[in-house]
């Protein structure tokens, strides 16, 4: 029974690795201008499948921790396996999504298909920041009910949401021009990498109890998340992450 959490951790790694395969097999992306003058992107289904697999990996990542506590099977081995899996599922795989989105962004420009790989490699900084973040987390025993820096799964899910925002658009919001804008993508790389390696005090979602007084920030974020998911579909993911950072900083004195 004590190995069950570790098997879930390896499933996380399996899903993250499979996501990488799909992300790298996109083949081609079609970029064209519609009648209103907006850029429209037809992403191949495979990169979208990669994004969905990253979200599945996040569910499994939650379950392995839950099962470890349930079976009282937490161990140094499990802790290391968890970080090794997370760096693939929420570091390398999302970095490759950014790599592909940068390719699509440059493809809109004249001679963009011949862009130097040097303009695309900054995407891999996200993977490096994720590895740094996870190594720091493993060495810091104080990050149980609060975090120092943005958790790697949160960063990975934000990036994984970008192809899904393109694939399942909200009619009232044209996000295409932002998601495939190279400068927006570079800004995302910079901000996400900084947040992961920073020491900003951000809340954990582990509950000591379920009282409103001790968990007001968590319940507030839950309300924001549900509301934005209903109204904005996948656009809710970046909104939830921004709200998470803001709420954490506002209520930082309540974090243990």
Report the C-alpha gap between 187 and 122 in whole angstroms: 11
pTM, 2 dp: 0.86
Question: Which DSSP letter does residue 89 get?
Answer: I
pLDDT above 90 (res 124): yes
Bridge-partner residues for 31, per DSSP? 41
Q: In this structure, what token pair is assigned to residue 146? A: 């609060």
pLDDT for res 210: 61
pLDDT tens digits for range 47-104: 899 999 999 999 998 887 777 676 666 777 778 888 899 999 999 999 999 999 998 8
pLDDT tens digits for range 166-207: 888 877 777 777 888 999 999 999 999 999 999 888 887 766
Residue 146's H or E segment, with its range, is: strand 146-148
Confidence of residue 163 (pLDDT cuts 50, 70, 90): very high
The gap from C-alpha 184 to its chain's centroid, in whole angstroms, comes to: 16
All structural domains of the chain with their residue ranges: 4-205
Residue 41's H or E segment, with its range, is: strand 39-42
Q: What is the CATH number of domain 4-205?
A: 1.20.120
With 0-12 CB in 10 A as exposed, 13-18 as middle and 19+ as buried, what is 248? buried
């Amino acid at each position: 029974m004590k190995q069950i959490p570790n098997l879930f951790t390896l499933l996380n790694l399996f899903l993250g690795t499979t996501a990488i395969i799909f992300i790298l097999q996109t083949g081609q992306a079609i970029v064209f201008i519609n009648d209103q003058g907006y850029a429209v992107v037809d992403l191949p289904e495979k990169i979208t499948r990669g994004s969905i697999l990253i979200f599945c990996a996040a569910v499994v990542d939650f379950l392995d921790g839950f099962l470890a506590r349930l079976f009282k099977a937490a161990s140094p081995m499990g802790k290391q396996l968890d970080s090794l899996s997370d760096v693939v599922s929420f570091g390398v795989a999302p970095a490759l999504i950014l790599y592909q989105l940068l390719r699509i962004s440059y493809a809109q420009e004249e001679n963009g298909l011949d862009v130097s790989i040097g303009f695309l490699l900054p995407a891999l900084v996200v993977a490096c920041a994720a590895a740094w973040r996870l190594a720091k987390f493993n060495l810091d025993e104080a990050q149980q009910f609060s975090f120092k820096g943005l958790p790697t799964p949160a960063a990975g899910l934000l990036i994984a949401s970008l192809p899904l925002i393109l694939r399942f658009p909200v009619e009232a919001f044209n996000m295409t021009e932002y998601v495939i804008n190279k400068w927006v993508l570079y800004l995302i790389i910079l901000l996400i990498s900084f947040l992961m390696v920073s020491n900003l005090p951000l809340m954990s979602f582990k509950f000591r109890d379920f009282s409103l007084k001790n968990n007001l920030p968590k319940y507030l974020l839950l309300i924001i998340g549900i509301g934005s998911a209903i109204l904005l579909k996948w656009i809710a993911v970046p909104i939830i992450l921004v709200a998470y950072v803001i709420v954490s900083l506002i209520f930082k004195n309540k974090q243990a």
